[in-house]
A and B are shown apart, each in its own frame.
Chain A
């Protein structure tokens, strides 16, 4: 923003800064030599005898001048800044003031060569964002809701229906501005039409909901990538929100961003206790609720739901033996990405006896039959989460992830006669026309494998997908995270 600056010298100072006090007597010399404006951030008594002294109580002048330290000395000619220094550097002050070696001649003592200054009040915690909101270019568009009548802002958020049932962080303008610092994208940019209400979702609305979810600004690139992936046509978010079935968007994160923001891919990776895991997944859910209007009991018709609808987000424990999920799905090595999957709950596979891949793969295949229903096939996709101790059984025998998937696919072929409706005395089942066929459990590409979890425990986990998987409903979508 351009401002009109008074020609001559400008000094920005703070009375409680010792270096500002050191230069205070010199200001009389500067004022005598030419035009001088002094902006004082904290007091009416600093340099009070000089005609050009102003108490910068709102800090607007200091903010517009971009002062980071006090004292700051600026020379302005024809409305343009031509020189600046901060702190006390005798040489700089002599040069910029134009007084040369005569500067300080009215003092009894010799001036030191150099004294560092203090931080400008404009940069104190909580103040910088308030100043930017008051005087800056950022204009937040969201409706402002005055809750001054409420005694507790968290309760006010509950009353307005903005919560998933747990407390949300009140989305104040300052918090939202801080959140927007986490992305280079403009606050008014529209990410897409948010189902089920199909309303435009801006980066700012993402930030508001990310604040409420408890995100740090540095999580924003992951939240935005997750939202973009969820809004991909192939993911079918609209139907997933509205279905009576269990699924809801689950976020799997790959690449350096996961470590950079401290995500958990190790012990309890699918559980609670890690801020990034917990709040990134929750932010997406709150966007669905608040922006999209996808609320349970309304258009979210889930019969039972699942606890992942509060939040379901984790990182893959990448190692050199197995190709990370994102790379299997076309992302370059060294890049970060999210993969969205319409996940249900977590079903554990406990196999503490298999020590060779042939036994363990059979064990896992048998457990995978339970996805949707042991007699259903090619309906829901699934994510197989292999813990490090189980993964080691495979990798020590030279089995890649791909090999494991192929072996599972073979083992999961079943005679149609066992799966058709009515077989085994169970009415549920696949159509009669599959009676004489070998039927795969999953559609092609319907089984995803990731490595995650703590280093102790011969367990893996199945996360079943939506029974309407594939083009009919939802396919997993991977999206690169851009900073």
Chain B
């Protein structure tokens, strides 16, 4: 059997390098979202960030995923995209 041609077993999205959005120069005037993925103590981390941002006079909005085991529901992703300029996510406990 000719074995010189193989069929790609992957999703074939490997080479597509996605460019990141440019980082904002400053958070002044921006709305910052804080997403709790619902892992234990994620709120402790995010509470502290909120405190620090608020002290800088930055508007903060809080969100949380129903469970850390699944991707965020589409409605939540759309809501966050509509309401904030920047999002901080606490990834793990």
Interface residues of A (CB under 8 A from B): 126, 140, 142-148, 153, 156-157, 162, 170-176, 194-195, 197-199, 201, 204-205, 208-209, 212, 236, 238-240, 243-244, 286, 290-293, 301, 468, 471-474
A292 and chain B: residue at smallest CB distance: B11
Given A170-B3, A172-B2: A142 touches B8 (CB 8 Å cut-off): yes
Whole-angstrom distance from the CB of B90 to the nearest CB of chain A? 15
B93 and chain A: residue at smallest CB distance: A244
Across-interface contacts of B7 in A (CB, < 8 A): 140, 142-145, 171-173, 176, 204, 208
Across-interface contacts of A175 in B (CB, < 8 A): 1
A209 and B70 contacting across the interface, CB-CB below 8 Å: no
Within 8 A of A (CB), among B1-52: 1-13
Across-interface contacts of B6 in A (CB, < 8 A): 144-145, 147, 153, 156-157, 170-172
Whole-angstrom distance from the CB of A389 to the nearest CB of chain B? 38
Question: What CA separation (Å) do A194 and B70 show in the bound complex?
Answer: 13
8 closest A-B pairs by beta carbon, nearest first, are A239-B69, A199-B11, A142-B7, A143-B8, A148-B4, A473-B69, A290-B9, A153-B3
A293 and chain B: residue at smallest CB distance: B11
Across-interface contacts of A286 in B (CB, < 8 A): 9
B3 and A209 contacting across the interface, CB-CB below 8 Å: no
Question: What CA separation (Å) do A359 and B4 show in the bound complex?
Answer: 61
Across-interface contacts of A205 in B (CB, < 8 A): 9, 11
Whole-angstrom distance from the CB of B6 to the nearest CB of chain A? 5
Question: What CA separation (Å) do A93 and B12 show in the bound complex?
Answer: 54
Whole-angstrom distance from the CB of A201 to the nearest CB of chain B? 8
Interface residues of B (CB under 8 A from A): 1-13, 67-71, 92
Given A147-B4, A172-B3: A162 touches B10 (CB 8 Å cut-off): yes
Whole-angstrom distance from the CB of A280 to the nearest CB of chain B? 16
Question: What CA separation (Å) do A258 and B89 show in the bound complex?
Answer: 45
Q: Chain A's interface: helix, strand, loop or mixed, by majority?
A: mixed
B69 and A145 contacting across the interface, CB-CB below 8 Å: no
A233 and chain B: residue at smallest CB distance: B70
Question: What CA separation (Å) do A143 and B15 show in the bound complex?
Answer: 13
Q: List 11 A-B contacts (CB under 8 A).
A: A153-B6, A172-B6, A174-B1, A175-B1, A238-B69, A239-B67, A243-B69, A244-B92, A290-B9, A290-B11, A473-B69
A126 and B69 contacting across the interface, CB-CB below 8 Å: no
Across-interface contacts of B2 in A (CB, < 8 A): 172, 174
Given A147-B4, A148-B4, A170-B3: A212 touches B9 (CB 8 Å cut-off): yes
Whole-angstrom distance from the CB of B11 to the nearest CB of chain A? 4
Question: What CA separation (Å) do A174 and B13 show in the bound complex?
Answer: 24
- Additional A-B contacts beyond A194-B11, A238-B69 (12; CB < 8 A): A142-B8, A146-B4, A147-B6, A170-B6, A172-B2, A174-B1, A205-B11, A236-B69, A290-B9, A468-B69, A473-B67, A474-B69
Question: What CA separation (Å) do A209 and B4 show in the bound complex?
Answer: 17
Question: What CA separation (Å) do A172 and B71 show in the bound complex?
Answer: 35
Question: What CA separation (Å) do A236 and B8 show in the bound complex?
Answer: 26
Across-interface contacts of A153 in B (CB, < 8 A): 3-4, 6
Most chain A beta carbons < 10 A, residue from B3, B9, B69: B9
Across-interface contacts of A199 in B (CB, < 8 A): 11, 13
Question: What CA separation (Å) do A244 and B1 show in the bound complex?
Answer: 42
A208 and B9 contacting across the interface, CB-CB below 8 Å: yes
Whole-angstrom distance from the CB of A258 to the nearest CB of chain B? 26
Whole-angstrom distance from the CB of B17 to the nearest CB of chain A? 14
Question: What CA separation (Å) do A171 and B1 show in the bound complex?
Answer: 11
Across-interface contacts of B67 in A (CB, < 8 A): 239, 468, 471-473
Pick from B9, B12, B68, B92: contact of A209, CB under 8 Å: B9
Pick from A197, A291, A301: contact of B9, CB under 8 Å: A291
Question: What CA separation (Å) do A148 and B2 show in the bound complex?
Answer: 10
Across-interface contacts of B71 in A (CB, < 8 A): 195, 198, 238
Most chain A beta carbons < 10 A, residue from B3, B13, B71: B3
B69 and A240 contacting across the interface, CB-CB below 8 Å: yes
Question: What CA separation (Å) do A274 and B48 show in the bound complex?
Answer: 54
Across-interface contacts of A176 in B (CB, < 8 A): 7
